[in-house]
A = this chain, B = another copy of it.
């Protein structure tokens, strides 16, 4: 295959495929066809084949995909053949809940540091043993702990300035839970998690389909 630009949607689907594949692997299944996997993921079989084809040939014609191999291949594609150290900025309700949440570590994301601006919190220890640093120590700690991704769980008003500090500290990946549009340079990749937008979408559907 040539070098087409890869749709972002395809990348996100790879994550979905991994989730499904890992579940199938736990069930002891060794090989799966694009058709069966597609059904499990709720997508079109050709889409799976095409998504994978962007990166190589991972299947066996007439047989399907060896699940163990495919998981490994997709993880390598996504850069998940390693762990990623991440930092939480904002240790409020949401921030501390996320730190305790098991899903991050399960997928190889390790909270290696936590930051806040509240003097009462600085120096305290979180249940998992992390010390809460002042946000002004961001750059130093980011270097020390080899952190590559920042998770913003501050109020909206602080989000932009935190983002700026992260970028100065050399963090190029940001997962933003604050309900604010943050501006970053080209080199930095931001993903927003705004559940109220999702709720709005639900409200729209409920309103229009006569409920």
* In the bound complex, CA of A77 to CA of B98 (Å): 33
- Return the contact of A203 from the options B20, B173, B206 (Cβ within 8 A): B173
A27 in the interface (beta carbon within 8 A): no
- Shortest CB distance A25–B (Å): 15
Other-chain residue from B80, B100, B103, B174 in contact with A179 (beta carbon distance below 8 A): B103
A37 to B42, CA, bound (A): 35
CA distance A11 to B199 in the complex (A): 11
Please report the C-alpha to C-alpha distance between residue A173 and residue B211 in the assembled complex, in whole angstroms.
10
**B-contact 0/1 string along A85-121, CB 8 Å cutoff:** 0100000011011101101101101000000000000
Interface range for A:
35 or more
A50 CB-CB contact with B under 8 Å: no
A31 in contact (CB, < 8 A): no
Residues of the B chain whose Cβ atoms lie less than 8 Å from the Cβ of A198: 175, 191, 193
Q: List 30 A-B contacts (CB under 8 A).
A: A15-B194, A20-B181, A40-B181, A78-B203, A78-B207, A79-B204, A79-B206, A79-B208, A80-B200, A80-B203, A84-B199, A84-B203, A86-B199, A94-B97, A94-B98, A97-B98, A103-B195, A103-B196, A104-B196, A107-B199, A148-B211, A149-B202, A173-B203, A173-B206, A175-B202, A189-B206, A189-B209, A191-B199, A191-B201, A193-B193
Residues of A within 8 A of B (CB): 8, 11-12, 14-16, 18-20, 40-42, 77-80, 84, 86, 93-94, 96-98, 100-101, 103-104, 106-107, 109, 148-149, 172-175, 179, 181, 187, 189, 191, 193-209, 211
